[in-house]
Structure 1
Amino acid sequence: MGLLGKLTVQVEIKSEGDLFHQLFKHTPHHVSGMSPDIIQGCDLHQGNWGTVGSIICWSYTHDGKQKIARDIIEAIDEEKRSITLKVIEGDILEFFKSFTLGIHVDTNGQTHLVTWVLEYEKLHEDVEDPVSLIPLYIKLTKDIEAHHLNNI
């Protein structure tokens, strides 16, 4: 069993894919109002919203426990509507040497797919893959979709 891993989940949404991308790029601090069961806060610690190199801190609930993740925005690609965040501090680093989250939106006609990509390196072989995060990202996506559809 290797220490490096990658998990991917795609969620089809009915709301506009650009809205989803712009939310995570410019106003991730609004996510807590759309999915308060999962995200309790998002604060800018350094830089500017939507700027590579900026540092943001998420307060979230996972497996019934309050957690934090301090992330640096590693990449933003407007054409591909993707954002890459690397965890630099937080609860998840108790188990992982590195943890990167990619959020990508594809549109094909009326179909919009949100893809979450988790890339990680475990601290040791006994650490389980973070599959328990997959339902969290699915619910988060659906909560954001429902918020956007209710405000059309």
Structure 2
Amino acid sequence: MANLTADSVVASAAIKSPADKFFNFFRYNMNEIINIFPEAFNGVELLEGEEGTVGCVKRWSYILGGIPMTATEKIEAIDEGAKSLTIAVVEGDLLLLYKSFQGILTVSEGLAEWTLVFEKATPDTPPPEDYVPLANTLCTLVDAFLLLN
């Protein structure tokens, strides 16, 4: 069997809202995504921990390519100085295709970037490129929301 290593894809979006405000939205108010982007995100449930802290676990219901999916995610790391948030998928549909899947949000003035780090379950597993436009749209909609609120 081939030795499969982690790979990554990056989604980035220009933002106009302050970097601190954008980062803190994803850290403390990410549940609002279901109101901001209901076409893609239709449910979220806090399973354990406290919002915005390492160890917080949530289950998301979302739609990708017309297919309903779920993902249980855990906040693994928060770096306030770098405005970085690391979230690992610990359960759900993504783990049918990937041995591991992690999203790392890094925010700077004018830019939000999601790095999706994954390890394929098989050599034939495609990279999760469908998540790039989803992440870009999410960042654009959150930015617009933050500029109005």
Letter in 1 for 2:118: Y
1:146 aligns with 2:148: no
Map of 1:101 onto structure 2: 103
Which one is further off, 34-43 or 114-123?
A: 34-43
1:115 is aligned to 113
Q: Does 1:33 align with 2:32?
A: no
The residue aligned with 2:132 is: 134
How many pairs does the alignment contain? 147
Give 1:87's aligned amino acid: V
Q: Give 1:150 deviation, angstroms.
A: 3.0
The TM-score with structure 2 as length reference comes to 0.93
Structure 1, unaligned stretches of length 5 or more? none
- 1:44 deviation in Å? 1.0
TM-score normalised per structure 1:
0.91
Distance, in Å, in 2 between the alignment partners of 1:67 and 1:23 is: 23
Task: Report runs of 4+ in structure 1 exceeding 3 Å deviation.
Answer: none
Q: Any unmatched runs of 5+ in structure 2?
A: none
**RMSD value over aligned CA atoms?**
1.4
Q: Aligned partners of 2:142, 2:11: CA distance in 1, in Å? A: 16
Secondary structure of 2:91's counterpart equals strand
- The equivalent of 1:125 in structure 2 is 123
Contact 2:11/2:133 (CA < 8 Å) preserved in 1? no
Residue of 70, 84, 87 corresponding to 1:85: 87
Alignment partner for residue 69 of structure 1, among 68, 71, 89? 71
- Cα deviation, 1:41-81, whole Å, max 9, x if unaligned, reads 22210010011011111111111111111011100011111
